[in-house]
DNA sequence: TTTCCCATGTAATCAGTTACATGATTAA
DNA sequence: TTAATCATGTAACTGATTACATGGGAAA
């Protein structure tokens, strides 16, 4: 199998939009993909080095070591397309919130309600953020890229709404003394 | 911080229902928590050993090494309650499906639709499974444990429905030539 | 008697985070 | 000139999976 790290996909994907330094890469990933993807510097820099070695990316301003932007090569674009097409296997589920709620009867009094209220806050905040992004996306000119951006945003919207509804219902269903 | 592995919580939680061998533990976790939690043997056995050493669990039939069930001790119950009450930090998001869809314009033709159809299947299957569990839960006598079981099940139902709706909408929104 | 399931465990490996160390550039 | 931000990188660690090795017991 030898599943290569998905960090490569995220980096190549981000560089397919435009050249960036490692630092900018991390900021871009956090900004744009932050709701469903994450990279740390500890992953970005080593991965960038191996991608450079394999010829998938190159320095836009060679010579300089600090502050030089990386750009994707045509070989890199091919790798990106390949890697994107690979089947993805969902990692085994590990939902810390549900694990706690499942054994909720062992939780101190009030803690379950507290957990649910935190989820309501989180989902509400997320929905506000999504609404702002939605306004931006709607204003963009029609393009294939926009379709896919809209589609991932829609995922966030649907799931956040479901999460909010669930948490409210669950909170209401909780016995008073728990 | 020193966040201890959550495997301990899952194991102690499962043993709080009744004594089990490592093998049964894994089966129980897969059966009952399978939709939102997972443990592998490579985690279960070493964790069971450290839990035994720290006095959180003990062998129900001492002497025998193979096939002896582990039971939770009162110290173990205290540890479980403590660990459940700890704040949980959600791991950074890494949604492989969305990463692929976001860069969907780099996907080979038809692949995006294929991914979405697979999600529709997955969500549909999950909803069927949840319906069967729901029927069981409804039949159970009222108890605090049932409330929490119902609450985690409801999470699955809400999210699976949202997922299905999203995937169908997204599939319909996809341009024909993509 | 062979096959399947129950059962336990370890070693290698992996993807990823965190903490740390360091330095360049820019704005106040 | 000092503080903030931009920028790069490494080492240690961690939580976890996977593959492998082994063997008992039951049933076909």
Interface contact flag, A107 B100, Cβ < 8 Å:
no
SS3 state of residue A169: helix
- pLDDT cut 70: percent of chain B above it: 95
As a rounded value in angstroms, the CA-to-C1' distance for B23 and C6 is 8
Whether the per-residue pLDDT at B64 is higher than 80: the answer is no
Same domain for A154 and A134, yes or no, is yes
Same domain for A81 and A125, yes or no, is no
SS3 state of residue A56: coil
Same domain for B157 and B112, yes or no, is yes
Q: How far apart are CA B178 and CA B111, in angstroms?
A: 8
Q: Which of B176, B132, B45, B108 has the alpha carbon at shortest distance from A86?
A: B108
Which pLDDT band, with edges at 50, 70 and 90, does A1 fall under? Answer: very low
Is residue A1 assigned to a domain?
Answer: no
Interface contact flag, B145 A105, Cβ < 8 Å:
yes
Q: Which of A31, A71, A35 has the alpha carbon at shortest distance from A52?
A: A71
Q: What is the pLDDT of residues A14-66, one digit of tens each?
A: 999 999 999 999 999 999 999 999 999 999 999 999 999 999 999 997 666 67
Question: What is the phi/psi pair of residue A165, to 5°?
Answer: -60, -45
Counted domains in chain A: 2
The strand D neighbours among B residues 23-42, by Cβ under 7 Å, are: 38-42
Same domain for A76 and A126, yes or no, is no
Interface contact flag, B16 A106, Cβ < 8 Å:
yes
Same domain for B104 and B55, yes or no, is no
Of B52, B85, B118, the residue that ends a domain is: B85
Give the pLDDT score at A177: 74
Q: How far apart are CA A92 and CA A95, in angstroms?
A: 10
As a rounded value in angstroms, the CA-to-C1' distance for B23 and C1 is 27
Residue of A nearest to B80 (CA): A106
| Nearest protein residue, CA measured to C1' of D13 | B2
Q: What is the DSSP letter of A86?
A: S
Q: How far apart are CA A99 and CA A96, in angstroms?
A: 5
Of A85, A110, A126, the residue that ends a domain is: A85
Same domain for B120 and B144, yes or no, is yes
Same domain for A61 and A30, yes or no, is yes
Please tell me whether any atom of strand D lies within 7 Å of the Cβ of B7.
Answer: yes
């Amino acid at each position: 199998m030898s599943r290569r790290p998905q960090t490569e996909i995220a980096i190549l994907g981000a560089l397919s939009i435009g050249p960036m330094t490692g630092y900018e890469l991390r900021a871009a990933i956090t900004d744009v993909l932050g709701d469903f993807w994450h990279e740390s510097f500890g992953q970005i820099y080593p991965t960038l080095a191996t991608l450079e070695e394999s010829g998938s990316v190159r320095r836009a301003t060679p010579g300089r070591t600090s502050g030089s932007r990386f750009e994707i090569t045509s070989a890199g674009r091919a790798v990106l397309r390949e890697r994107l097409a690979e089947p993805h296997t969902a990692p085994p589920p590990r939902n810390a919130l549900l694990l706690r709620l499942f054994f909720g009867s062992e939780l101190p009094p009030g803690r379950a309600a507290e957990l649910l209220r935190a989820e309501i806050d989180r989902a509400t905040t997320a929905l506000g953020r999504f609404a702002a992004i939605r306004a931006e996306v709607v204003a963009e000119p029609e393009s294939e890229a926009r379709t896919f951006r809209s589609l991932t945003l829609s995922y966030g919207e649907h799931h956040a709404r479901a999460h909010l509804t669930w948490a409210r219902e669950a909170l209401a269903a909780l016995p008073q003394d728990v």
